[in-house]
Structure 1
Amino acid sequence: MVSKRFVAKRLLLLVPVLFGVSTLVFAILHLSPGDPAVAIAGQRASQAFIEQVRSDLGLADPLWQQYVRFLGDVVTFDFGQSYQIQRGTPVSSILAQRLPITIELAVLGQIAGLVFGLPLGILSAVKQDTVTDHLTRIGALSGISIPIYWSGPLLILLFAQFLGLLPTSGRIGSEYFLEPITGLILVDTLLTWEFDAFVSAATHLLLPVVVLGIYQMALISRMMRSSMIEVLRQDYMRTARAKGQGAKITVMKHGLRNAFIPVITIVGIQFGTLLGGAVLTETVFEINGIGTLLVDAINRSDYPVVQATVLVFAVLYTLVNLVVDLTYSVLDPRIEQ
């Protein structure tokens, strides 16, 4: 059981991290080229109107005042309004619509990586230096080496264009319309008992999830193999086998829990990679998540949306690392000490 003191300590450590990220985002956007006032007013606007917009947004204030105001807005989750993506719409509302899409994609990609990566890593370790091990290692190396912007179009050409088995883009068929409940399309279709819509959503998400899961599977299987091989060489594993315990029971009961600790680190770190990969995946498969929102906001110089999106990525990443720390303490209680 995780102690409350351990959880409180980890939560307190998140404060300076988020403060640093907020400061970095503010600094980068204010040092980057371009004038938000011009982006809002338009290139053909008069100088007087541009100055009026700059004054209304507080951009004419000293930098330290803008920074303090920005930190206050971050604490209250008030990111202002979009002036390019959805003009006049609160950024928080836009994020609430788009964020579940990316989270669903990232979580499914992570699940796919774990479901296939863990068994392959364990099998490769148990069958070390056999044909099975060599084939698994070759597959893992290939998966790590294939970039998303190449594997995505390749899978579209194979399964959508050539074989005609799967759709090429979107999250669900155009004939279905669902009022968002959770924002997670698979969950919403189940909550509304729309089985046909669920099948449509599953087939639409299959290729994007495979693209994200390939890299995760390869990395997790490699890490699991290395960790399991080290655990199999420990004395307590030999003792368990010497007492007559079967090989499968020894590996699953004694080996898996200890070998899984380093893998958790990779899973936590790679969640940030999944979010970054979601930017490319959403672009390739035309899924309107937070990844495509960030790209669109950068291209159109929508600074409030850019700031809020980057901060959301940072918060998600830190929260996942918090979960990883808590999982450590569950698997190995000595970590709390």
Structure 2
Amino acid sequence: MISKRYIVKRLLLLIPVLLGVATLVFSILQLSPGNPARVIAGERASEAAVREIERRLGLNDPIWVQYGRFLWDLLHLDLGESYVYRRGQPVAGLLRWKFPITMELAVFGQLAGILFGIPIGIISAVKQDSLTDHLSRLGALTGISVPIFWSGPLLILLFSVTLGWFPTSTRIGSEYTAPQVTGLLTVDTLLLGQYEAFISAVHHLFLPSLVIGVYSMALISRMMRSSMLEVIRKDYIRTARAKGQGAKITLMKHGFRNALIPVVTVIGIQFGSLLGGAVLTETVFAIPGVGKLLVTVIQDGDYPVVQGIVLVFAVVFTLVNLLVDLTYSYLDPRIEQ
């Protein structure tokens, strides 16, 4: 059981972390080349028009005034308005429907990594130095080494073009209308009872989720193997076996929970990497999420949208780390002390 005191303590520690992230994002964009007012006005606009836009947006105010206004807007969940991509539209409203697309892809990718990585790691540890162990280690090394921009087109060529098993792009079949309730397509289709559309959404998500989850699966399996090997050599495992307890029961009842603690760390860190990997995956598979949007707005110099996306990514990553800390406490109550 996780104590309320521990939860409150972890939540309070999030405040300086989020403040530091916001400060870092603000500083980087302030130091980036280019003038937002020039982007809005256009290359052929007069200097007077550019100066007017700077005055209207407060871009010519002192840096500390801009920083204070930036933090005040963040407290009110105001991420500004798009300059170029959809001029005048609030960034928060723009991300309202874009971010769930990326989140869904990252969650499916992480699930693929967990469902395949943990069992492979356990089997590899139990059958140490066997052919199965060598093959799993080789597969993990390959998964860690292969970049997404190479594995994505390769899997499309194999499973979509050659075998015809999976679609090459989009999120759902053209015969279905994507519902917008939560923004998570698989959840929305189930909530509305559109089971055929749900199957189509899962079918379309499988290949990009596999691409984005391969790296996570490889890392989780390697960490699970290492952690399980360390645990099965502990004295309490030998004692349980000496008392006549079966090998499978001993590993799953006494070994698995303790071996899972460092793996949880990897899972939490990898989720942030999956959000970053969605940038390439969404571009390869033409998925209209935040990753693809980020590429577009960086090219256009749409600073508020770039700033909003980075901040949302940072907040989500921070919350995932909080969840990891709470999971630590659940798996090993001694951590709270």
Please tell me the TM-score bracket, short chain as reference: over 0.9
1:275 partner letter: L
2:173 is matched with which residue?
A: 173
CA-based RMSD of the aligned residues comes to: 0.8
User: Which contiguous aligned blocks of 4+ residues in structure 1 show a shift greater than 2 angstroms?
Assistant: none
Q: Given residue 247 of structure 2, which amino acid in structure 1 is its aligned partner?
A: A
CA displacement 1:8-34 (0-9 Å, x = unmatched): 111111111111111111111111100
2:276 alignment counterpart: 276
User: Structure 2 matches for 1:63-78, cutoff 5 A?
Assistant: 63-78=63-78
- The structural deviation recorded for 1:59 is 0.3
With structure 1 as the length reference, what TM-score do the two structures score?
A: 0.99
Residues in 2 aligned to 1:172 and 1:258: alpha-carbon distance in whole angstroms: 40
Shift of 1:213: 1.4
Q: Residue 228 of structure 1: CA displacement? A: 0.1
Residue of structure 2 in register with 1:125 after alignment: 125
Shift of 1:44: 1.3
Q: Which residue matches 1:161?
A: 161
CA contact (8 A) 2:241 2:250 kept: yes
The answer for the alignment partner of 2:299 in structure 1 is 299
Question: Which whole-Å CA distance do the structure 2 matches of 1:178 and 1:202 have between them?
Answer: 13
Where do 1:130-141 residues align within 5 Å?
130-141=130-141
Quote the Cα distance in structure 1 between the aligned partners of 2:54 and 2:295.
24
Q: Which moved more, 1:105-114 or 1:39-48?
A: 39-48
* 1:286 corresponds to: 286
Task: Name the structure 2 match of 1:219.
Answer: 219
Deviations 1:132-162 (A, max 9, x none): 1111111111111111110000011111111
SS, match of residue 281 in structure 1: helix
Q: What does 1:1-337 correspond to in 2, within 5 Å? A: 1-337=1-337
Look up the SS of the partner of 2:43 in the other structure.
Answer: coil
1: distance between equivalents of 2:115 and 2:159?
A: 22
Q: CA deviation at 1:292?
A: 1.2
Q: Aligned letter for 1:246?
A: G
Alignment deviations for residues 168-189 of structure 1 (CA, whole Å, 9 cap, x no partner): 1110112211330110111111
Q: Deviations over 1:238-295 (max 9, x none)?
A: 0000111100000000000000000000011111111111111111111111111111
TM-score using structure 2 length: 0.99
1:45 aligned counterpart, secondary structure: coil
CA distance in 2, matches of 1:5, 1:295: 42
Tell me, in whole angstroms, the C-alpha distance in 2 between the residues paired with 1:36 and 1:268. 35
- Residues 179, 185 of structure 2: 8 Å contact kept: no
Structure 2: distance between partners of 1:13 and 1:330: 19
The CA deviation at 1:53 is: 0.8
Task: Give the deviation of 1:203 after TM superposition.
Answer: 1.2
- Aligned residue type for 2:19: F
CA distance in 1, matches of 2:219, 2:332: 23
**Structure 1 Cα separation of the partners of residues 235 and 152 of structure 2:** 45
Please say if residues 79 and 92 of structure 2, whose CA atoms lie closer than 8 Å, have aligned partners that are also in contact: yes
- Partner amino acid for 1:2? I
Return 5+ residue gaps in structure 2 as ranges: none
Question: Which amino acid is 1:266 matched to?
Answer: V
Residue 60 of structure 1: SS of its match in structure 2? coil
Return the alpha-carbon distance in structure 1 between the equivalents of residues 148 and 331 of structure 2.
Answer: 33
- Distance in 2 (CA, whole Å) between partners of 1:89 and 1:106 is 26
Q: Alignment length, in residue pairs? A: 337
The percent of aligned pairs where both chains have the same amino acid is: 67
